[in-house]
Amino acid sequence: MRITNKMITTKYIRSLNTLSSDLDKLNTQIASGRAFSKASENTSAAVKAFQIRRDLSKTEGYQANIAHAQSSLTNSESALMHIEELMQEAKVKILVGNTVTSSVDERKIVATELRSIQNQLFQTLNSQASDVYYFGGSNTDNQPFTLDTNGKLAYNGESLWQLDPVVDELTIKGLKEDSMYVDIGLGLRMNGTDVDRSSVFQYSIPGINIVGSGSTTLADGTEVSNNLYDLLGQIAASLESGTYTYDMVDQLSAKLSESSKEVIYKLTEVGSKTSYLDFMTDRFDTRTLDLQENQVNVEGADPARTIIKFKSQEVAYSAALQMGTKIIQPSIFDFMS
Amino acid sequence: MRPTFLAFQTASRALSASQALIDVTGNNIANVNTNGYTRQRVDLASISNSGYTQKYTVPGATVGLGVNVTGIGQIRDPFLDARYRAQASESAQYDTLLKGLSDLEGVFDEVETQGLQAEISNFINQLQTLSQTPSSKDIALVARTAAQKVTQILNVYSKQTEQVREQQIYDLSKIVVDTDFNTLVKNIAELNTQIRNELTHGNEPNELYDQRNILVDKLSGIVNIKVTTTPEKISEDLTIENLTISIYDTKGGSSIGIVSNGLYNTLDASLDSDNKMTIEINSSFGGYNGDITTKFSGGSIKGYLDLINGEGTYAAPGENAFRGTLYYGHAIDTFAANFAKVLNDLNVDPADGTTVLPLFTDESGGTTSITAGNIRISAAWMNESTHIVTTTVNPPAGGGDNVLRMISALGSDMSFRRDPADPASPVMFEGTVNEYMTGLIGELALDVELNQNFSNTASTVLNNLYASRESMSGVALDEEGINLMAYQKSYNAAARYFTVLDEAVDKIINGMGLVGR
């Protein structure tokens, strides 16, 4: 094959171009720390990178939800502890007031104290954090606990003492299950058009589960509410009443102890929910770290390797430049006399 | 008998032959860097004095009469030219595609930027936040802003895709067709006329050939051409060759003449009523007239046509199915329409559970013809951030069930239909909204990668053909230098021969008949 001068220069310019564009590519990699700056440079890595970013963003969302649930649970917990303390206090008061020897005045004082506890209970049940009632189930905007026309406790508009476990089964079920929930990455699913509750995290305690509902008929035919608020009121009324009997208050007191057990159960439930959230937080922290590591592996340029590549490319480039000055210069004309 | 001065002519011709050789060598050296120059060669022939006129002479040994310069020719291989031009048109096609697709990639690529995918992820996270306190107006406002960013990015993508397309349309119609192609065919036809004139006068217009070859090479980068030459007999001893160029489609077998000797046909590129690019030919000869859009199979015009008209999977049978700007435009329109529909359908009035309260509309407030270019937040949502229905419980309490429904819908697989309102229309993609965009970007990146590879391969082959052609036709200085030295020697020898003849005649005239003097 004849090798002409133009062939040599054209090829030489072309290979210099290739060398310097490779050099530029490596330089960009080092400067940006990225293995590729366009998807077409490494399509499979880019698609993987998009997936990782998506997962990272999802994890971020779940973690925000967990933090929200956690703070809400912390609020609920302290309110529940307060209710529990109130119940203990009430029981002590009742023990003091309900003795065979207690005088009318003494009972009256205890009754007043019980009404004050009753009042505090009412307020605690209507606790709010950042304008949200957290014992109201999904009713977060309006005060969940109110008093009905009889002065008895009502939850989300339903008088609790009137709810019959048989007749009002669906209403009670609805109220008990109606809570606030968030998606914390348990695989959010729809059950038909409804949110599948097992795929979300329910973080609020519906107040009805704390205070109890319905009423019980005592042996003597007296009907008593099952809920803590009404019970406290009834005990206070009995203590004050002219027809006070020790037995009556004793029975009511037993009923109160029974109902207040729910508070403890709920406290335990809150505790286990909180520790579950702690576990999930840890899990997502680990996952975030894993994802970030993956991201660096997929998108990042290994600095050591890139710099070594850059250096060897630089050597090739300057070698080509040196060679060029040798190859283009001489021809037979340089040696003709 | 030999005439006395016969050999003087021989010597004179030898001198002028050497002179011609040196001159052509000089011309070659001078043009070592001239683009498109074909190395020239002196055609020499030896002269004999045999023939009819000597029929009755006394037989005896005859001596040749030296050398004759018959012409100055070019060293060129038409087969290499044909291969080079076929390859040039393939290479130009891929280069054009690569450039256009890279522009599109610049629009859609989200590797280094916060693009649509990031905004959708952000929107989902804002919905998560909204699900924490669904009745909070300010958080609903943040969620709406996130949704607005999604619509704005879609608007930008749509606009930029359209801009890329407009750029391609401008390049094709104004630059490639109007300026490059139409000027080239005209110039080639003019050169054909000039060359024909020179040839009929018996001249060898080497420089005009070179000029024409450069233009034909350029033309081969624009369209898939076939160059043919047909001999024409001018007189008994003069036959010249005429050049014809046609757009030749190897697959369809059609051949549309664009240059024939001094005649040429121009092209005209314009958008038709369907917003598709159409190329028409204005024929001054040949049978074709009108639309020849489908006849291009190579060259940058084919590349541009694919980019401008290519609708990918949206193409009807027989239409251009390359994934060009129209395809990517349609693809984000489908995305926008389906994205809007899935969220709109979930945003129903809790009062009756059926009335859709649209979150996204087109610019006129409708929901049936939403595209990426016109999608926006509905006026109702713009007025009131709580227009987004957070719960389907009636009367609405503070629950966030509907927000979770939206999150779930955005996170689960759905069928992206070409027309989301019509359940019978074809499914373009099955997956989540984010997967749709990842898929689209991946598809585009693969197309860029593929065309990059095609382009690299094509240009490597082209470079090899260029080298082969250069090897045949280019000027090698070493060779010319050696020739120069050799021709100098032959010139000297011829001059010496002259001197010998001169001395011999001198001997006869001045030395003969002077015996004893």
**Is B198 found in the same domain as B315?**
yes
Tell me the per-residue pLDDT of B70-121, one tens digit each, with 9 for 90 and over: 999 999 999 999 999 999 999 999 999 999 999 999 998 888 888 899 999 9
- Tell me the chain B residues in contact with residue A7 when contact means C-beta distances shorter than 8 Å: 467, 470-471, 474
| pLDDT over threshold 70, residue B50 | no
ipTM of the complex: 0.86
Interface contact A49-B111, CB threshold 8 A: yes
Q: Find the CB nearest A331 among B33, B118, B477.
A: B477
- Confidence at residue B55, expressed as pLDDT on a 0 to 100 scale: 60
Counting Cβ atoms within 10 Å, is residue B253 exposed (0-12), middle (13-18) or buried (19+)?
exposed
Is B228 among the domain residues? yes
Interface contact A53-B121, CB threshold 8 A: yes
- Confidence at residue B61, expressed as pLDDT on a 0 to 100 scale: 67
Residue where a domain stops, chosen among B305, B322, B339 = B322
- Radius of gyration for chain B, computed over Cα atoms and rounded to the nearest angstrom: 38
DSSP string, B96-154: HHHHHHHHHHHHH--SSS--HHHHHHHHHHHHHHHHHSTT-HHHHHHHHHHHHHHHHHH
Per-residue pLDDT 10s for chain A (337 aa) are 888 888 888 888 999 999 999 999 999 999 988 888 888 889 999 999 999 999 999 999 999 999 999 999 999 999 999 999 999 999 998 888 888 788 888 888 989 999 999 999 999 999 888 888 888 888 888 889 998 888 888 988 888 888 888 888 888 888 888 888 899 988 888 888 788 888 899 998 898 888 888 888 887 888 888 888 988 898 898 888 888 888 888 888 888 888 888 899 999 999 999 999 999 999 999 999 999 999 999 999 888 999 999 999 999 999 998 888 887 766 777 777 6
Report the C-alpha gap between B178 and B173 in whole angstroms: 6
Q: Which long-range contacts (CB under 8 A, 24 or more apart) does A63-66 make?
A: A63/A281, A63/A284, A63/A288, A64/B125, A64/B128, A64/B129, A64/B132, A65/A182, A65/A183, A65/A184, A65/A201, A65/B128, A65/B131, A65/B132, A66/A182, A66/A184, A66/A201, A66/A277, A66/A280, A66/A281, A66/A284
Is B58 among the domain residues? yes
**Is B201 found in the same domain as B312?**
yes
**Is B215 found in the same domain as B92?**
yes
Distance from CA of B390 to the nearest CA of A (A): 11
Instruction: Report the mean per-residue pLDDT for chain B.
Output: 90
Domain count, chain B: 3
User: Best of B84, B210, B438, B464 to disrupt the A interface by mutation (most A CBs within 10 Å)?
Assistant: B438
**Is B390 found in the same domain as B309?**
no
- Confidence at residue B417, expressed as pLDDT on a 0 to 100 scale: 92
**Is B114 found in the same domain as B98?**
no
Residues in a beta bridge with A153: A147
Asked if residues B182 and B173 have their Cβ atoms less than 8 Å apart, the reply is no
Interface contact A6-B474, CB threshold 8 A: yes
**Is B394 found in the same domain as B245?**
no
Is B516 among the domain residues? no
Residue where a domain stops, chosen among B289, B322, B355 = B322
Is B471 among the domain residues? no
Tell me the per-residue pLDDT of B196-248, one tens digit each, with 9 for 90 and over: 999 998 888 999 999 999 999 999 999 999 999 999 998 888 889 899 999 98
**What is the pLDDT confidence band of residue B516, given thresholds at 50, 70 and 90?**
low
Distance from CA of A179 to the nearest CA of B (A): 8
Is B54 among the domain residues? yes
> Which residue in this structure is represented by tokens 């499914």?
B427
B59 SS3 class? coil
Mean pLDDT for B373-394 is: 90
In this structure, of A110-114, A246-250, B370-374, B456-460, the range with the lowest mean pLDDT score is A246-250
- E strands, A139-222, in order: 145-147, 153-155, 158-159, 181-182, 190-191, 194-195, 201-202, 215-217
Range of the domain at B170: 81-105+163-322
Q: Which long-range contacts (CB under 8 A, 24 or more apart) does B180-184 make?
A: B180/B218, B180/B222, B181/B219, B181/B222, B181/B223, B181/B266, B181/B267, B181/B301, B182/B266, B182/B267, B184/B215, B184/B218, B184/B219, B184/B222
**Is B100 found in the same domain as B116?**
no
Q: How is residue B406 written in tokens?
A: 């939206």
Is B490 among the domain residues? yes
**Is B35 found in the same domain as B127?**
no
**Is B435 found in the same domain as B349?**
yes
Residue where a domain stops, chosen among B322, B350, B374 = B322
Is B453 among the domain residues? no
**Is B126 found in the same domain as B56?**
no
| pTM as predicted | 0.86
- Confidence at residue A118, expressed as pLDDT on a 0 to 100 scale: 92
**Is B128 found in the same domain as B17?**
no
Mean pLDDT for B170-192 is: 94
Q: Which long-range contacts (CB under 8 A, 24 or more apart) does A235-242 make?
A: A235/A90, A235/A94, A235/A111, A235/A114, A236/A110, A236/A111, A236/A112, A236/A114, A236/A115, A236/A118, A237/A111, A239/A97, A239/A98, A239/A107, A239/A108, A239/A110, A239/A111, A239/A114, A240/A107, A240/A108, A240/A111
- Confidence at residue B56, expressed as pLDDT on a 0 to 100 scale: 62
Interface contact B397-A138, CB threshold 8 A: yes
Q: Which helix (H) or strand (E) holds B235?
A: strand B225-235
In this structure, of A140-154, B23-37, B465-479, the range with the lowest mean pLDDT score is A140-154
Nearest of B267, B321, B327, B307 to residue B96 by alpha carbon: B307
Is B470 among the domain residues? no
Interface contact A46-B442, CB threshold 8 A: yes
- Confidence at residue B53, expressed as pLDDT on a 0 to 100 scale: 59
Interface contact A43-B445, CB threshold 8 A: yes
Distance from CA of A165 to the nearest CA of B (A): 24
State which amino acid sits at residue A144: P
**Is B316 found in the same domain as B226?**
yes
Where does B257-313 have alpha helices with state H?
299-309
> Which residue in this structure is represented by tokens 């998560």?
B128
Distances (CA, A) of A314 to A190, A300, A328: 59, 22, 21
Asked if residues B270 and B288 have their Cβ atoms less than 8 Å apart, the reply is no
